[in-house]
Amino acid sequence: MPLSIAPGGQAVLFASSEAHPLIKTGGLADVAASLPAALRELGQDARLIIPAYPQAKRLVRELRVLSELGLKNTQGPVSLLGGLLPDRDLPVYLVEAPAYFCREGNPYTDVSGGDWGDNPERFLLFARVLARVALGLPTLDWRPDVLHCNDWQTGLAPVFLNSYEERPATVFTVHNLAYQGVFDRATFDRLALPPALWSIGGIEFHQRMSFLKGGIAFSDRINTVSPNYADEARTAQYGCGLDGLLRQLGSRFRGILNGIDYRTWDPLQDVSLAQNYDRDSLELKATNKLALQHHFDLPEDEHCLVLGHIGRLVEQKGVDLILDLLPRLLEQGNIQLVVQGEGDRALEQRLLDQATQHPSQLSVRIGYDEARAHLIEAGSDLFLMPSRFEPCGLNQMYSLRYGTVPIVRRTGGLADTVVDTTADSLASQEATGFLFDEANAEALWGALERALRLYHQEPANWRQLMQNGMTKDLSWEASAKRYQAFYEEALQSRSEQAAALSA
């Protein structure tokens, strides 16, 4: 491994199906790069592992072959590559298996937007390699104390490791309960998994198989990405069928709030902005608004209120609420809305149609562009996040850091990170945004009206609100320490279990 430094502390292998800047479809990618980096700053020897997608291979520094894995029953050879992330000294392993991962574009879907038909095979293979590396590869000279898996794509690794006496502790993080990796019985048979796994205590889930259930049921410690979503996840309304299992886990399951990467998301250093600024130079932010309007082909006017939205264009994110809000919003005049994202083709089309009808007020970019995301965060006045559910949400935190006031639904991590504006919370300088409860355009409009009133009638309070958000500590520091303690717990319970087995 090029960086074979062992800073002491625990050795952590952080497994994810995406990591920024190698490949990104959502917030998981941001967490997968920034949490291991924060752990390293605490003295943990954290290393990342993801599949060797072509775009990832192009970006990793000092890439080399570390080990041929000689796995049986695979399509073609499987090997482990190693290198460093392009923008920081974080060691990364890539699972090279061309028949499975050598595909351009989205890591999960083909060009038509449908899931790759062999996703079960692809992420079964990924999990097999994770288990191999976790048990210690003779050629690697490094062995993790903790395997930290994330989301369903890694869910089978703790299942495979479970029966090994010499295994590391396992921690599993759920970034979204709605994505479960559920497949039919025929797939289970095709994957040739041990028949005993087709059971309530295994990965069987309502007559189908669930990768996510595997990760949850077989790991030493399990968490999700905010305390509030952890509470919601234990209810039938939000639990996506796994609430019973999560309740059974008791204190083995909890919420640890995500942090954001202060190096990447810093309005004073951000190279994607037209103008850097901080809480003491907020007047400079307007230059970014003009650049944003220019970028989105909207009339450039710094007195026009700009709303931003970034996210997967899916029902979860409440894009339909924004669509329903449009008639009322656009009739206000002097308001513009910019949207970036991709997802559900019908929602994309509805947005594009509206943009065609209202070219001076609404502009939409389908796709995901990181630099543009930074410009939206900096150039907007308000950021809309009307999610139906939100395990954590990162964009509202980026907004806070950029002095862009978030309007969010009171759910999941949104409720944990945004403080509603009231006379009291303004006076105590705690207010950072606007919250609403019901998942409909009416409720969203109510929050927006409150925001517009403050913006137009109380400029000094508005400025204070922006500054409150910018002052909030959203960094990884506190949460990375919580993960460190969580790893300790996992190791402790692992060794108690091992002692019980050998007794």
The alpha carbon of 169 is separated from its chain's Cα centroid by a whole number of angstroms, namely 23
**Cβ(383)–Cβ(373) under 8 Å?**
no
Least distance (Å) from ligand GLC to the CB of residue 490? 19
Q: CB of 46 within 8 A of CB of 12? A: yes
31 is a site residue for ligand GLC (CB under 6 A)? yes
Rounded to whole angstroms, how far apart are CA atoms 115 and 211? 15
Closest to ligand GLC by CB, 168 or 255: 255
Describe the crossing of helices 441-457 and 319-330 by its angle, rounded to 10 degrees: 50
Q: Which is nearer to ligand GLC, 348 or 390 (CB)?
A: 390
Element (H, E) at 83: strand 79-84
- Please, which residue, 280 or 370, has the CB nearer to ligand GLC? 370
Nearer to ligand GLC, 293 or 432 (CB): 432
Kindly identify the residues of this chain, within the stretch 144-183, that bind ligand GLC according to CB under 6 A. Answer: 175-176
Residue showing tokens 């990162």: 394
CB of 27 or CB of 406, closer to ligand GLC = 27
Which residues, 44 to 83, sit near ligand GLC by CB under 6 A?
Answer: none
CB of 169 to ligand GLC, least distance (A): 21
Cis peptide before 2 (omega within 30 of 0): no
393 binds ligand GLC (CB under 6 A): yes
Helix or strand holding residue 351 (H, E): helix 345-357
Q: Is 480 in the site for ligand GLC (CB under 6 A)?
A: no
- 62 is written with which tokens? 């000092």
Q: Which of 44/150 has CB closer to ligand GLC? A: 150
* Residue 229: CB minimum distance to ligand GLC, A: 8
Stretch that binds ligand GLC, among 27-35, 56-64, 180-188, 209-217 (CB under 6 A): 27-35
Site for ligand GLC in 351-390 (CB under 6 A): 390
d(CA 470, CA 472): 6
CA-nearest of 501, 32, 497 to 220 is: 497
* 96 or 320: CB nearest ligand GLC: 320
Buried b (16+ CB within 10 A) or exposed e, 38-48: bbbebebbbbb
Q: Does 416 bind ligand GLC (CB under 6 A)?
A: no
Q: Which residue is nearest to ligand GLC (CB)?
A: 27
Could you give the CA distance from residue 468 to residue 420 in angstroms, rounded to a whole number?
A: 12
Q: Greatest CA span in the chain, whole angstroms?
A: 74
Binding pattern for the stretch 188-227 against ligand GLC, x by CB under 6 A and - elsewhere? -------------------------------------x--
20 touches ligand GLC by CB under 6 A: no
Q: Applying CB under 6 A, which of residues 12, 16, 26, 205 lies at the interface with ligand GLC?
A: 26
DSSP secondary structure letter of residue 202: T
- Is 210 or 293 the residue whose CB approaches ligand GLC more closely? 210
Q: How many residues bind ligand GLC (CB under 6 A)?
A: 14
Residue with tokens 């339909």: 320
Among 28, 69, 85, 94, binds ligand GLC (CB under 6 A): 28
User: Residue 325 CB: number of other CB atoms within 10 A?
Assistant: 21
Query: Of the listed pieces 25-33, 85-93, 268-276, 423-431, which binds ligand GLC according to CB under 6 A?
Result: 25-33
Q: Which is nearer to ligand GLC, 28 or 313 (CB)?
A: 28
* Binds ligand GLC by CB under 6 A, chosen from 12, 18, 20, 27: 27
Stretch that binds ligand GLC, among 12-20, 392-400, 448-456, 462-470 (CB under 6 A): 392-400
The minimum distance between CB 195 and ligand GLC, in angstroms, equals 33
Query: What is the nearest approach in angstroms of ligand GLC to the Cβ of residue 483?
Result: 13
Q: CB under 6 A: which stretch of 21-29, 126-134, 348-356, 490-498 binds ligand GLC?
A: 21-29
DSSP state of 355: H
Give the type of residue at 191: L
Where in 326-422 does DSSP place strands (E)? 335-341, 362-366, 382-385, 405-409
The residues, ordered by sequence, that sit 6+ positions from 3 with a Cβ below 8 Å of its Cβ are 84, 89, 91
Cα within 13 Å of Cα(258), Cβ side: 30
Please state, as a whole number, how many other Cβ atoms lie within 10 Å of the Cβ of residue 368: 18
Q: Are 467 and 282 in contact (CB under 8 A)?
A: yes
Cβ 434 to ligand GLC shortest distance, Å: 19
Residue 10: how many other CB atoms lie within 10 Å: 20
Using DSSP's 3-state secondary structure scheme, residue 477 falls into helix
DSSP string, 110-139: -TTSPBPTTHHHHHHHHHHHHHHHHH--TT
Q: Which is nearer to ligand GLC, 108 or 445 (CB)?
A: 108
C-alpha to C-alpha distance for 151 and 173, rounded to whole angstroms: 6
Q: Which of residues 29 and 362 has its CB atom nearest to ligand GLC in the complex?
A: 29
Nearer to ligand GLC, 28 or 451 (CB): 28
Interacting stretch for ligand GLC, rule CB under 6 A, among 22-30, 373-381, 451-459, 481-489?
22-30
CB of 387 to ligand GLC, least distance (A): 8
Which 240-299 residues touch ligand GLC, going by CB under 6 A? Answer: 258
Residue closer to ligand GLC (CB basis): 224 or 421: 224
The contacts of residue 186 (CB under 8 Å, 6+ apart) are: none
Both structure tokens of 72: 């049986």
Binding site for ligand GLC (CB under 6 A): 26-28, 31, 175-176, 225, 258, 390-394, 413
